[in-house]
């Protein structure tokens, strides 16, 4: 007997990167940080274990204050959620429905599609340019809600703040969601704009630059009135959302912010070296501002490269989608992990050359 409502039957499934933990794989497929959380995080989480019989603070007061301090904004400008996916879902739920569609690029973060499908929100897609960049003019003065990942995923390209501002300024009656999941790795953040524009929601996560993917911590940042509107919805569906352990982990991470900023700089440096080596091997590598590179090779298809790397214990991500089927998205790990990956690609190339000669 099926009880699922008809309207849910055809919900698409989000296919995340393979989750192979602790089995010797080099995991370059889910954009996690290769670096562990800072030392204070373990202590802070351990300190909560003896208090788990008590509910957590539903308002995330200490966490919001700590992250607000890092960002240089008021705590009332910050909402905390269970990962930025939850914040994104809640912002779709709060501001869009069948009559209030969302406009977004045709190639972007895949989970937006699922949220919209689950909530019955129509999506209107604007194609990326031929070179995979977003043309900001496609979003100016359109009078509809907008979601943009900036930098975009999986391309890694970022729009300058001046172009984001033009989008936000020219759609004053609509919410513009800027998903800055990867901004800490070298993009310009549009956070300073929240003081001037009440329709801008910036979404951030501790999953990438803060090494806390498994803790599930995400944030919505905007003017206090917009955040209060979002809180109305959050408290109706998930009052105690962020666990006691995750809140404590987040506060500790904010107190050790410099550790994470240093990791971001290391990752950006490793990204530059990796992109340079891939280009030397003939790859087309998009100019990334994130902790991944999106790269295609003229001598091997994306699908073959992914499977040959997997056979060597290295996981990368790929989509069977028009225009990007030949690209692999490769997370930037440690320098040593990237060297392992580059050596594997060299080996794949040598084997192909040898096979071709036979």
Q: Which residue ranges make up the site for ligand PMP (CB under 6 A)? A: 83-85, 109, 149, 153, 179, 181, 205, 207, 213, 218
Q: Which CB, 37 or 344, lies closer to ligand PMP?
A: 37
Distance from C-alpha of 273 to C-alpha of 103, rounded to nearest angstrom: 35
Q: Which CB, 213 or 281, lies closer to ligand PMP?
A: 213
Q: Which CB, 141 or 214, lies closer to ligand PMP?
A: 214
Strand-pair category, 78-81 with 218-221: antiparallel
Beta bridge partners of 127: none
Distance from C-alpha of 108 to C-alpha of 323, rounded to nearest angstrom: 12
Is the dihedral angle over the CA atoms 19, 22, 27, 30 positive or is it negative? positive
Q: Which CB, 73 or 147, lies closer to ligand PMP?
A: 147
**Residue 181 burial class via C-beta count within 10 angstroms: exposed 0-12, middle 13-18, buried 19 and up:** buried
What residue ranges in 222-282 does DSSP mark as E strands?
A: none
Distance from C-alpha of 64 to C-alpha of 316, rounded to nearest angstrom: 34
Q: Which CB, 194 or 212, lies closer to ligand PMP?
A: 212
Q: How far is the CB of 123 from ligand PMP (least distance, A)?
A: 15
Contacts of 58 (CB under 8 A, 6+ apart): 235, 239, 240, 241
Distance from C-alpha of 336 to C-alpha of 260, rounded to nearest angstrom: 19
Q: Which CB, 81 or 345, lies closer to ligand PMP?
A: 81
Q: How far is the CB of 16 from ligand PMP (least distance, A)?
A: 8
Q: How far is the CB of 82 from ligand PMP (least distance, A)?
A: 8
Q: How far is the CB of 265 from ligand PMP (least distance, A)?
A: 21
Q: Name the residue with tokens 């989008």.
A: 167
Q: How far is the CB of 246 from ligand PMP (least distance, A)?
A: 11
Q: What crossing angle do the helices spanning 224-237 and 83-95 adopt, rounded to 10°?
A: 100
Q: Which CB, 230 or 348, lies closer to ligand PMP?
A: 230
DSSP conformational letter for 77: G
Q: Which CB, 32 or 163, lies closer to ligand PMP?
A: 32
Q: How far is the CB of 151 from ligand PMP (least distance, A)?
A: 8
Q: Name the residue with tokens 């089995």.
A: 23
CA angle 46/50/53 to nearest 5° reads: 125
SS3 label, residue 247: helix
Q: How far is the CB of 83 from ligand PMP (least distance, A)?
A: 3
Q: How far is the CB of 86 from ligand PMP (least distance, A)?
A: 7
**Inter-residue contact 211 to 35 (CB < 8 Å):** yes
Distance from C-alpha of 220 to C-alpha of 235, rounded to nearest angstrom: 14
């Amino acid at each position: 007997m099926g009880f699922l409502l008809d309207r849910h039957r055809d919900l698409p499934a989000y296919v995340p990167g393979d989750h192979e933990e602790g089995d010797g794989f080099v995991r370059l497929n889910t954009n996690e940080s290769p670096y562990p959380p800072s030392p204070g995080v373990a202590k802070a989480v351990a300190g909560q274990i003896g208090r788990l019989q008590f509910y957590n603070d539903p308002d995330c007061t200490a966490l919001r204050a700590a992250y607000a301090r890092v960002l240089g904004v008021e705590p009332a400008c910050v909402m905390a959620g269970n990962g930025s996916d939850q914040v994104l879902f809640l912002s779709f739920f709060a501001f869009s429905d069948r009559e209030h569609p969302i406009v977004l690029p045709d190639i972007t973060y895949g989970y937006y599609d699922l949220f919209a499908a689950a909530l019955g929100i129509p999506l209107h897609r604007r194609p990326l340019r031929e070179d995979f960049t977003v043309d900001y003019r496609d979003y100016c003065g359109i009078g509809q809600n907008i979601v943009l990942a900036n930098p975009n995923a999986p391309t890694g390209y970022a729009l300058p703040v001046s172009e984001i501002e033009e989008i936000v300024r020219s759609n004053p009656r609509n919410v513009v969601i800027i998903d800055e999941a990867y901004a800490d790795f070298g993009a310009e953040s549009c956070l300073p704009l929240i003081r001037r524009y009440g329709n801008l929601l910036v979404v951030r996560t501790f999953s990438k630059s803060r090494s806390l993917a498994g803790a599930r911590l995400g944030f919505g940042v905007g003017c206090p009135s917009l955040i209060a509107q979002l809180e109305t919805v959050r408290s109706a569906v998930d009052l105690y959302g962020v666990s006691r352990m995750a809140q404590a982990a987040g506060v500790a991470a904010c107190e050790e912010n410099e550790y994470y900023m240093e990791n971001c700089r290391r990752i950006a440096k490793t990204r530059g070296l990796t992109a340079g080596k891939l280009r030397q091997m003939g790859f087309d590598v998009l100019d990334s501002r994130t902790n991944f590179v999106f790269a295609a090779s003229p001598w091997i298809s994306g699908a073959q490269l992914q499977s040959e790397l997997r056979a060597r214990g290295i996981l990368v991500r790929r989509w069977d989608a028009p225009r990007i089927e030949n690209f692999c998205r490769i997370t930037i790990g440690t320098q040593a992990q990237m060297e392992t990956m580059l050596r594997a690609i060299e080996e794949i190339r040598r084997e192909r050359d040898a096979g071709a000669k036979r």
